[in-house]
Structure 1
Amino acid sequence: MLVVDDNKVIRQLIRVNLELEGFEVVTAADGVECLDLVHRVRPDVITLDVVMPRLDGLQTATRLRSDPRTRHLPVAIISACTPYEVDSGVAAGVDAFLAKPFEPTELVRLVRELMGRKDRPSLDGRRSAGTAERAAG
């Protein structure tokens, strides 16, 4: 699990809530750090804030989708979720959205849902059966 947010307090809030549920969490402060870490960490799910320095969440999602190694990683936007962010996120290939402020139970539900998807290729590149569904929440 890779959590990307420029706000340290929010990163820690998300991390603690997910770790309490047994998830292993790595954090990054912006999209540049995310793209640097993603190939070493190999997360099952990535959460992105939208407004971040250097590389925002929407640009990061676009880059993740354009890379064959990360194209099928489930990506969720955790932000204000304005209509612009949602429309741009859908266009960038984001799988799910969670509006700030959020309930910890909703965060955990969303991550479990995204982790449960078996329609993305495994790390060795073989595809599992199924088609991707877009979740909005």
Structure 2
Amino acid sequence: MPTHTRIRMFNTKETYPNQALDNDLCQAVRAGNTVYVRGQVGTDFNGNLVGLGDPGAQAKQAMSNVKQLLEEAGSDLNHIVKTTTYITDPRFREPVYREVGDWLRGVFPISTGLVVSGLAQPEWLMEIDVIAVIPDKEEA
């Protein structure tokens, strides 16, 4: 019996056609009452980039993806316990964190933020991954 559920499995051959990759991954994993969400960027689940050159718009799409994945796993934004946010330029901190903060108002997760030299695609200006819990029925 599996101890976890993989959500939105994919192969990197389709998601990174410009790179010679062949890895089996998924967007989220539910393990017990914990949900681990893969780094989300400004690309929707059809592979369309939203917000070319606009870190705030990319953050909005990334958070929309996070919301959808958590709901598919049986959780929601209110149950996020940790975020890790990556930006490719320190000037992107304000627009990205404002957008993420709007989505997580009143949640109070722990958070790590990093400025990195680049992400997997040059158009990506930010990325966020999260860990959330699935509450017991009484807590929901």
TM-score range, shorter chain: 0.3 to 0.5
Give the TM-score normalised by structure 2.
0.37
Give the TM-score normalised by structure 1.
0.38
Greater Rg, structure 1 or structure 2?
Answer: 2
> Structure with the greater relative contact order (CA < 8 A, sep ≥ 6): 1 or 2?
2
Greater strand proportion:
2
